[in-house]
Each structure stands twice: as C-alpha cells, then as structure tokens.
C-alpha cells in the first residue's frame, strides 16, 4: 500500500468548521439563539402593546361574570355564570358535535366505501358520485348550504313539518319527544352492562372452545341477542317505566320535549357528509390494498366466503384503514370549529369568539382554545402509536 504524498500526519485534527460534530453543535446553538431572540422580541412587543391598551394578563378573568346567553348548553348555564363556565360549555358542545359527527360519518363512510366496491355497476357509480361530489366542495360552503339554504328556509313554528304527532321540524329546529324515566328504570342500564359482560365472556369461552375442539358457535348473533334482548326483556317485565314528554305548540313556539337547534343540525349534517366521503375512500383503498392472493389462498383452504372476509380480509384491511381513519376523525373535530360561521356555540364560537371580544384577553383565550385541540390531537396520536405497535406486521 502506497502512502499518498498529501496524507495527513497522524494526530492532525481538522479545523472545527470541518468537524461534523462541532459544526452541528455550533449550528444548533445558533438556532437556539435565533429562536430565543425571536421569542424575546415577540414577548417584549406584546407586553408593550398590552400595556398601551390597558389589558392585564392572567387568567383572573375566568371567574368574572360572563353576562351573555348561549343557545345550547349541556350543563346548567345562565348569563350570571363565569367566563370559565363558557369555556366548559363550548368544550362540551364541540365534543358533542364531534362525537356524533364521528359516529354518523363512520356509518355513512363505511356503507359508501363498501358500495363503491359493489359488483353492481350502478351502485358502485352512485357511491363514486357521492364521494366525488362532496369531497370536492369546501366544508364551509356545505355548512352554509345546509344552514342558510335548507334549515333557515323551513316553515315557521305554526306551520312546522310534523312526522307523526311526536317529531316537528321548523325554522327554529327539530323537536323530539323527551323520555322521562320513572323509578325502576335504573335496572335497564344495569342489565345492559351485565349483558355486555356476559357476551364478552361468551366470546372468550367460544374462542377457547374453538381452539380446543375446532367447533364454534355463532357468537356474533348470540351476543347481539343478549345485549339487546336482555334489557328489552327487563323493560317489558318492569312494565316500561318510561313516559314520553311530547313537544306541544304553545303560542309561537314549541314547549316540552328536546329541542335540537338548526345550527347543530347544519353543522352535524355537513361534517358527517363531508368527512364520510373521505372515510369511504379510505375504506375502499384499505380493502383493495389486500392482495387478491390472500382471498384466493383462503378460498383454496375452502374457508366459506363469510370467514374469508372476517378472518383474512378485514383484519388486514383494518391495519391499513385505522391510521388514516383516525386522522379523519381528528380533522372532523378540528373542522367542527367552523361552527363559528353559523353561530353554533362551540369552543371557538363561544370562547374564542364572544368571550374573547368581551374580555380582550386574546392571548389567554387563544392559547386555551389551541391547547384543547392540541391535547385532543396528542391523545389521538398516542392512541395511533399504540395501535400501530400492536398491529404492526411482525416480520420474520
């Protein structure tokens, strides 16, 4: 081996700007300094601006009296309640529309996604038309459509559309009968929980028996019967301890029953329909991602078609479907903040809207609002990581 004439002598150290580790350290220190300087600049400006406007920082305003009304409150609230209470009200309303939206969007999305793969040409095309229409129109436009063009043009309370004598729909919202629970009703939820525990035990027993003997029972139908049949049986035996309070027209408006405000209906409809179009695409691509060889191999083992789906296709498809599905759920919850455009009292509308305007505490209010969404995102992504680790392919 020949020695190159310009080879460096042993022990020679390169100058620090050629040393990768030192360069990285210097670069990172510069970055920290720049970010710190930026933050100090911003904080200094903010303090000066706040002093000029006479706003005191801090969270003391949360205990002040709010003094405004809110159209939909899940817990008790009056205009004498505090600003802190408006935060809770807004958060609960956001979670309500988010939760119900996730539920409806999943149902519609799965149905449309499976219909998209239907062997029936017409059904597949209809599902495709649904997806392409609703996912290419901005959500805010869809919310406006449902609210201003559909729900705000409904007839007044006196000429409401009636479905039977129990459900009424008019410009002020949807009126449903409210169940009033009498004594003895507590038994039914209790039975429900017992039934769920029993069916879980049944499924586990069936699995063990299946592994031991190869025989299996139709546990899905059996647990369905247990979960819904048992509470129903108790309901009948105890003599149906529920009465319904019907909405009744009094003067210009309905009284009694449950009122669902049109803002909620519009937001819920638009969120569900819009997100469902994305979920449908996710479901379709998840099912299509399973190689055809998997199905064929399962058929070659003469598994019946139902079991091919349940034991081979769906478990593998779920691995593909769940990650983008949860990010769609997250999008739905974040998109529910568009409520502010039609005045549904969600977190952004009530807290970052009215409360912010009344108190002027922009920094605290926006920080609290953003923190809520960040925490929800964080929780969901933690779940995602846990799920991914659980279902990840174990490669050998």
Residues that bind another protein (CB under 8 A): 24, 27-28, 31-32, 35, 42, 45-46, 48-50, 52, 118-123, 126, 132-133, 135-142, 144-145, 148-149, 153, 334-335, 337-338, 340-341, 348, 352, 356, 362-363, 366, 369-370, 373-374, 377-378
Give CA–CA dist 221/223, Å, rounded: 6
Taking each helix axis as running N to C, give the angle between helix 314-335 and helix 83-116, from 0 to 180 degrees, rounded to the nearest 10. 140
Least distance in angstroms from the C-beta of 173 to another protein: 19
Beta-carbon count within 10 A of 324 CB: 16
Least distance in angstroms from the C-beta of 42 to another protein: 5
Burial class (CB in 10 A: 0-12, 13-18, 19+), 100: middle
Structure tokens at 59: 């969270």
Least distance in angstroms from the C-beta of 132 to another protein: 6
Least distance in angstroms from the C-beta of 117 to another protein: 13
Query: Which is nearer to another protein, 206 or 361 (by Cβ)?
Result: 361
Nearest to 103 by CA among 313, 343, 322, 279: 279
Query: Which is nearer to another protein, 178 or 331 (by Cβ)?
Result: 331
Beta bridge partner(s), residue 180:
243
Give CA–CA dist 365/135, Å, rounded: 32
Query: Which is nearer to another protein, 138 or 255 (by Cβ)?
Result: 138
- φ, ψ dihedrals at 59, nearest 5°: -100, 15
Query: Which is nearer to another protein, 92 or 348 (by Cβ)?
Result: 348
Cα angle 72, 73, 75; round to 5: 165
Query: Which is nearer to another protein, 49 or 243 (by Cβ)?
Result: 49
Question: Residues near 194 by Cβ (< 8 Å), separated by ≥ 6?
Answer: 230
Give CA–CA dist 115/238, Å, rounded: 42
Nearest to 142 by CA among 305, 317, 272: 272
Query: Which is nearer to another protein, 78 or 120 (by Cβ)?
Result: 120
Least distance in angstroms from the C-beta of 308 to another protein: 19
Structure tokens at 150: 């559909």
Least distance in angstroms from the C-beta of 15 to another protein: 16
Q: Is 239 left (phi over 0), alpha (psi -120 to 50) or beta?
A: left
Nearest to 85 by CA among 100, 101, 71, 65: 65
Element (H, E) at 249: strand 248-250
Least distance in angstroms from the C-beta of 14 to another protein: 14
Are 187 and 238 in contact by the 8 Å Cβ rule? The answer is yes
How far apart, in Å, do the first and last CA atoms of the chain sit?
43
Least distance in angstroms from the C-beta of 358 to another protein: 14
Query: Which is nearer to another protein, 238 or 327 (by Cβ)?
Result: 327
Least distance in angstroms from the C-beta of 149 to another protein: 4
Query: Which is nearer to another protein, 188 or 356 (by Cβ)?
Result: 356
CA distances from 198 to 125, 220, 232 (A): 43, 13, 16
Cα angle 110, 116, 117; round to 5: 100
């Amino acid at each position: 081996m020949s020695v190159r004439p310009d080879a460096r002598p042993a022990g020679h150290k390169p100058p620090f700007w050629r040393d990768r580790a030192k360069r990285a350290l210097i670069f990172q220190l510069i970055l920290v300094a720049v970010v710190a300087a930026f933050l100090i600049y911003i904080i200094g400006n903010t303090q000066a601006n706040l002093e000029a406007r006479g706003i005191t920082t801090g969270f003391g305003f949360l205990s002040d009296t709010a003094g405004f009304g809110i159209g939909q409150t899940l817990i008790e609230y009056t205009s004498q309640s505090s600003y802190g209470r408006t935060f809770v009200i807004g958060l609960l309303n956001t979670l309500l529309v988010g939760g119900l939206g996730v539920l409806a969007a999943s149902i519609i999305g799965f149905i449309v996604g499976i219909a998209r793969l239907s062997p029936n040409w017409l059904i597949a095309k209809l599902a495709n038309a649904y997806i392409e229409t609703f996912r290419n129109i901005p959500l805010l436009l869809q919310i406006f459509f449902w609210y201003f063009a559909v729900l705000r043009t409904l007839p007044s309370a006196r000429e409401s559309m009636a479905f039977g004598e129990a459900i009424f729909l008019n410009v002020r919202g949807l009126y449903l009968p409210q169940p009033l629970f009498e004594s003895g009703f507590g038994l039914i939820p209790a039975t429900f929980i017992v039934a769920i525990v029993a069916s879980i035990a049944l499924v586990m027993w069936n699995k063990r028996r299946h592994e031991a003997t190869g025989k299996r029972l139709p546990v899905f139908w059996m647990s369905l019967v247990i979960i819904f049949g048992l509470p129903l049986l108790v309901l009948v035996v105890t003599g149906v301890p529920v009465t319904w309070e019907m909405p009744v027209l009094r003067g210009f408006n309905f009284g009694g029953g449950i009122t669902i405000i049109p803002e909620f209906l519009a937001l819920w409809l638009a969120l569900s329909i819009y997100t469902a179009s994305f979920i449908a695409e996710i479901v379709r691509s998840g099912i299509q991602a399973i190689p055809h060889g998997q199905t064929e191999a399962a058929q070659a083992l003469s598994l019946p078609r139902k079991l091919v789906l349940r034991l081979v296709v769906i478990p593998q498809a779920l691995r593909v479907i769940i990650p983008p599905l949860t990010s769609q759920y997250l999008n739905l919850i974040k998109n529910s903040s568009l409520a502010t455009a039609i005045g549904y009292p969600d977190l952004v509308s009530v807290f970052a809207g009215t409360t912010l305007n009344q108190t002027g505490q922009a920094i605290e209010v926006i920080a609290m609002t953003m923190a809520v969404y960040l925490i929800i995102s964080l929780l969901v992504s933690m779940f995602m990581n846990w799920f991914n680790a659980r279902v990840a392919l174990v490669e050998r």
